[in-house]
Amino acid sequence: MVPGAVEQAVPFARYLSQASQLTRLWQGQSYGLEPAATFAYLAGAGYRGPVGTGVLITPLRHPAQAALEARTMAAVTGHPAIVGYGPGSQVVQRARLGSAYRDPVAVCTEFLRATRECMAQPWDPPDTGSGHRYFHVGEALPPVAHPRVQLALGVLRSRMARAAGEVADAAITWLTPAAYLRRVVVPEVAKGADSARRPRPSVIAAVPVAVARPGRHPVELAHLAAGGHLVLPHYADMLTRAGVDVSASDPSSAARALVAGGGFLYGSPSGIAAGLAEYAAAGAGEVILNLTGVHARYGTDETLLDLSEILTATASLHW
């Protein structure tokens, strides 16, 4: 979920501290509370677990500010952080910048390199590019001791996946079915890394999930979790390429197609666990359990109940 008040994040941070199967607390882009501030609040309240963001959008920040936020997350939690970035939609780009990116992949690639430079983070191999076209970086920020920050790119299609392989520490997907991850994302990330002669970044899949219960409707929950993305052309295009017949002009039918196509996992805890295992088999090194739809409709208690039952079911699979 994206908390509307910092206190809403506390039950999830507390659950993370007690659940050995969970590796980190994730938050997506927020137009209310900045994730770095939420994580700082949780750290001050005594919840200093690993954190990640997926995916913060570049039109809202300069690389220097991104570097400051990213290293703050690692410093205040005392753990390595994964911080993902993406271009956002053309609507957001126009609203914040006055025009849409002509080449979102090139912008995001440079953004990641520039953010790394601002943190004075070692680059492998050294960047021998001809300077910056989109961002003026200036000097690196003054040094501050902090655990490692991994910089990630949000990935939907082939070109961004290959770019992530070339410059990122991780590639983060959202709404991508496991078969598409296996067939497109993982191979393209590998190609990009191999071409740049660098280690292959991990692939992280953010997957919306909900346990089937009486009175629940999967299409409604899928719409609450992802309806805002399903109307965007780049998500509709990715899902179409993945074999999911979505229409950006009809969010309800798009949500129904997302459920049918495996982009939203709904069913018994064991069925969801099996679906998550498919992501692991497809090459995902980490899976983000996104229960935004459940939380929006039923609140914190039912969200944590779903999470608990799913984790219990995954424990028997031995991934």
* Residue closest to 6 by CA, chosen among 31, 38, 35, 32: 38
Banded pLDDT at 130 (limits 50, 70, 90): very low
Q: Which residue has the higher pLDDT, 63 or 249?
A: 63
Question: DSSP character for 181?
Answer: I
Helical segments of the chain, H only:
10-18, 35-44, 63-77, 90-97, 104-118, 158-167, 178-180, 186-196, 218-230, 233-241, 251-260, 269-282, 292-298, 300-314
H-helix or E-strand spanning residue 314? helix 300-314
pLDDT at 126: 44
Residue 122 lies in a domain: yes
Domain extent, residue 90, equals 1-154
- Per residue in 33-54, pLDDT tens? 899 999 999 999 999 999 999 8
Averaged pLDDT, 69-79? 96
- pLDDT of residue 272 exceeding 70: yes
Report how far Cα 201 is from the mean position of its chain's Cα atoms.
14
Q: Give the chain's end-to-end CA distance (angstroms, integer).
A: 26
Residue 39 lies in a domain: yes
Q: Which residues, in sequence order, are bridge partners of residue 173?
A: 205
Of all residues in the chain, what percent are helix, strand and coil, respectively (each to 5)?
Answer: 50, 15, 35
Predicted TM-score (pTM) of the model is 0.94
Residue 184 lies in a domain: no
pLDDT at 2: 78
Secondary structure of residue 44 in the 3-state scheme:
helix
Among the listed ranges 32-36, 47-51, 55-59, 78-82, which one has the minimum average pLDDT value?
32-36
Averaged pLDDT, 155-161? 98
Residue 107 lies in a domain: yes
- pLDDT of residue 284 exceeding 70: yes
H-helix or E-strand spanning residue 97? helix 90-97
Residue 279 lies in a domain: no
The beta-strand segments (E) located in the chain are 25-27, 51-57, 81-86, 149-154, 170-174, 202-211, 265-267, 286-290
Residue 100 lies in a domain: yes
Residue 106 lies in a domain: yes
* Residue closest to 153 by CA, chosen among 181, 111, 187: 111
Count of domains forming the chain: 1
CB of 57 closer than 8 Å to CB of 154: no
Tell me, what CATH number does 93's domain have?
3.20.20.30
Residue 19 lies in a domain: yes
Banded pLDDT at 304 (limits 50, 70, 90): very high
What is the Cα–Cα distance from 69 to 52, expressed in whole angstroms?
A: 12
Banded pLDDT at 247 (limits 50, 70, 90): confident
- Per residue in 183-238, pLDDT tens? 999 999 999 999 999 999 999 999 999 999 999 999 999 999 999 999 899 999 99
